[in-house]
């Protein structure tokens, strides 16, 4: 039995009618309706993000205090940054903050997510408690941390005294202030990392886990060889996000230490604030801001490239 072939149309025969085209006016109305919804948000993004960024680039090439007419300097502000010891110290503090905060937030967030990915009583309440610090204001967190870690009457030192241990300087100690800032930032950011890992853990194929258990793999081997590879794209995203968060950390430092003591917590972002809004060196501060943007962009590209090389495409 042969299958009937589709009918062929002879030369000159009339072609089958095509689908009717939409009227031009309807397409215009659909486009106008879409822009009516997206237009206000687009204006806000351009007005509050793109335009200020472009304007800041032109400011970075000038000497301007915000009042007198700006004087064009070309690339001198960028050249001066290479010889600025304060900028070098701020970059060192930002680098130390980033390399301490990012791995700790990833590891602790993953551990918390695994702990919350269990069927136990009140699990919804525990998940809410973990996420609440993330939605809290960083400024309020910094003010609260000033009382908790106060060397004189802070709760942490009171606990140390009750245990017979020596009290610590914390935010008032040049050697401990930056580490204390990292601990406070972790308290506020772990909830975000835990939530995205928790969502990824629930999407891990159960067939892979069951197959590994049938093959005799224990809990640790299942987690290492099955679960972790499935979480690699989320790890790349979390690393990029937390790196940007660490490099742009400002409000927590502003409300807790103001860059002190002895500039031990003065990061690049806080130094930009001092240059632009305290000493009124707007051009020099804008140049440092653009340099920070370039460094952040390079680090993000490197992390994404490494993730794609390992087969973890997430962007």
User: Where does residue 272 rank: exposed (0-12), middle (13-18), buried (19+ CB within 10 A)?
Assistant: buried
pTM for the full predicted model? 0.81
Question: Hey, which bits of the chain come out as E strands?
Answer: 62-63, 71-72
The residue whose two tokens read 């993004």 is: 45
The helix/strand/coil state of 62 is strand
What is the distance between the alpha carbons of residues 111 and 290, in angstroms, rounded to a whole number? 36
Q: Give me the half-sphere count of Cα atoms (radius 13 Å) on the Cβ side of residue 220.
A: 0
Closest CA to 266 of 122, 65, 274: 274
Distance from C-alpha of 188 to C-alpha of 163, rounded to nearest angstrom: 27
Cis, peptide link before residue 138, omega less than 30° from 0:
no
The two tokens of residue 201 are 């853990």
Pairwise CA distance, residues 156 & 136, whole Å: 21
Q: Give which of 265, 279, 40 is closest to 145, Cα–Cα.
A: 265
The token pair at 109 is 């967030």
Burial string for 82-109 (b: 16+ CB within 10 Å, else e) reads: eeeeebebbbebbeebbebbbebbbeeb
| pLDDT at residue 153, as a whole number | 84
**255 and 142 in contact (C-beta within 8 Å)?**
yes
Give the pLDDT means over successive 10-residue stretches in the chain (315 positions): 50 53 75 87 83 88 89 91 92 94 95 88 86 84 87 88 90 92 92 92 85 83 86 90 92 90 92 91 92 89 80 54
- Alpha carbon 194 to its chain centroid, in Å, reads 14
For residues 37 and 54, the answer to whether their CB atoms sit within 8 Å is: no
SS3 category, 228: helix
- In order, the DSSP letters of 65-107 are -SSSPPEE-TTHHHHHHTT-HHHHHHHHHHHHHHHHHHHHHHH
E strand or H helix at 219 = helix 219-222
What pLDDT is stored for residue 314 in this prediction? 53
Distance separating alpha carbons of residues 301 and 294, to the nearest angstrom = 11
Beta bridge partners of 63: 71
CB contact burial 253-264 (16+ within 10 A = b; e otherwise): bbbbbebebebb
* Residue 306: predicted pLDDT: 80
């Amino acid at each position: 039995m042969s299958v009937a072939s589709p009918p062929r149309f002879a030369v000159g025969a009339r072609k089958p009618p095509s689908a009717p085209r939409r009227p031009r006016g309807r397409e215009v109305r659909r486009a106008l309706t879409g822009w009516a919804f997206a237009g206000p948000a687009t204006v806000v993004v351009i007005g509050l993000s793109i335009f200020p960024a472009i304007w800041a680039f032109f400011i970075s090439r000038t000497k301007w205090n915000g009042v007198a007419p700006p004087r064009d300097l070309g690339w001198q502000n960028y050249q001066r940054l290479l010889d600025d010891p304060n900028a070098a110290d701020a970059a060192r503090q930002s680098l130390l903050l980033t390399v301490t905060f990012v791995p700790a937030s990833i590891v602790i967030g993953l551990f918390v997510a695994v702990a919350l990915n269990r069927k136990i009583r009140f699990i919804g309440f525990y998940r809410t408690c973990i996420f609440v610090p993330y939605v809290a204001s960083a400024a309020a967190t910094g003010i609260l941390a000033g009382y908790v870690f106060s060397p004189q009457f802070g709760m942490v030192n009171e606990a140390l005294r009750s245990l017979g241990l020596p009290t610590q300087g914390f935010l008032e100690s040049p050697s401990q202030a930056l580490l204390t800032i990292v601990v406070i930032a972790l308290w506020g950011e772990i909830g975000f990392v835990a939530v995205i890992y928790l969502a990824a853990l629930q999407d891990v194929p159960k067939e892979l886990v069951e197959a590994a258990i049938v093959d005799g793999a224990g809990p640790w081997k299942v987690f290492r060889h099955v679960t972790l590879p499935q979480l690699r794209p989320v790890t790349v995203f979390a690393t990029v996000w937390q790196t940007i968060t660490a490099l742009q950390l400002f409000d927590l430092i502003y409300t807790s230490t103001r860059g002190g003591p002895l500039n031990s917590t003065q990061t690049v972002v806080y130094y930009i604030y001092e240059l632009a809004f305290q000493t009124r060196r707007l051009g020099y501060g804008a140049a440092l801001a653009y340099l920070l943007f370039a460094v952040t962009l390079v680090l993000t590209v490197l992390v994404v490239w490494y993730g794609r090389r390992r087969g973890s495409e997430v962007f």
